[in-house]
Amino acid sequence: MAEKQTKTALVVSAHSGDFVWRAGGAIALYAGRDWKVKIVCLSFGERGESAKLWKEGGMTLERVKELRREEALKAASVLGGEIEFLDCGDYPMHFTAVHLDQLVDIYRSLRPEFVLTHSLEDPYNFDHPLAAHVAQEARIVAQAHGHKPGGAVLGAPPVFLFEPHQTEQCNWKPQVLLDITPVWEKKRKAFEVMAAQEYLWEYYTRVALNRGVQAARNSEKKDIKYAEAYQRIFPQVTEDLQ
C-alpha cells in the first residue's frame, strides 16, 4: 500500500512577525490537519519593525536580529509551522538573485498546495509588496522547464494575499474568509511570543473578531467568532459553485 503523501503549504512573510498577525490562524489550522506548513521569512524586521528593542540601551543590529529570530521560531512552533530565514535585510530589503534561487528551490521541493503572502500594494511598507512580488516571481520561475532542466517543475498553486494593516490604502479586498475559531487560542499565544511588537496584539485580535462577524454573516456558520481574510490572485477552478 502506497504511503499517504503529506500535503504542504507555503507562507512567504516579509518580516519575522508578519506571518503571525496575518496568517497565524491558517498556519495553525492546516498544521492541525497534519499538513506541512513552511514559513519563509525574508527578513527579521530588524530595522523597521523592532522599535521597542532599539529603545533598549546598548542594542546592536545583530542582537535585534537574534531576538527577532528567537521570537519567530517560538511563534512558528506554537502554530505548528516550520520556518526558514533568508536574511534579506529590511528598510530597505535587498532580495538578490541568490535569494530568488533559494526560494525557487523551496517551491520545487515543497510543492505547496497553496501560497500565502502579502498584498500587492502597501504605501506604508515597501517590503510587503516586494515580498508579494518575489513570492510570485519564484512561483513562475519554479514552473519553468528551462530553470535547472531535469528537475520536477512546479504546478499552479493558488496564491492568497493576507490582510494588510490598512486595507483601503493597499487596494486590497477580502474575498475569502477563513474560520480560525478552533485555533484562535494558538494564534493569540503566538501573538504573545512577539514581545517586540506588543502594540499589535490587541489590534489584530480586533481584526480577527471583525472578520469573524463578517464570516458568520456570509455563511450558515453562526458560531464563527474569529476569522482571517484573504484576497485571491488567480481564478478559482471548480466543478461546482457550492
Q: Which 8-state DSSP code applies to residue 97?
A: H
Note whether 38 and 84 are within 8 A (CB): yes
Q: Is 156 among the domain residues?
A: yes
Q: Is 240 among the domain residues?
A: no
Residue 91: the pLDDT is 92
pLDDT tens per residue, the chain (242 residues)? 556 789 999 999 999 999 999 999 999 999 999 999 999 999 999 999 999 999 998 999 999 999 999 999 999 999 999 999 999 999 999 999 999 999 999 999 999 999 999 999 999 999 999 999 999 999 999 999 999 998 899 999 999 999 999 999 999 999 999 999 999 999 999 999 999 999 999 999 999 999 999 999 999 999 999 999 999 999 999 999 87
Cell triple for 218:
456570509
**Which CATH number fits the domain that encloses residue 89?**
3.40.50.10320
CB atoms within 10 A of CB 5: 7
Q: Is 138 among the domain residues?
A: yes
Residue 241: the pLDDT is 87
Q: Is 241 among the domain residues?
A: no
Residue 3: the pLDDT is 62
Residue 149: the pLDDT is 94
Residue 194: the pLDDT is 95
Q: Is 96 among the domain residues?
A: yes
Q: Is 242 among the domain residues?
A: no
Domain count, the chain: 1
Q: What is the domain extent for residue 174?
A: 8-232
Residue 63: the pLDDT is 95
Ordered DSSP codes for 25-88? HHHHHHHTTT-EEEEEES---TTTS-HHHHTSTT--HHHHHHHHHHHHHHHHHHHT-EEEE---
Q: Is 238 among the domain residues?
A: no
Please name the helix (run of DSSP H) or strand (run of DSSP E) that holds residue 203, with its range, or none: helix 201-217
Q: Is 46 among the domain residues?
A: yes
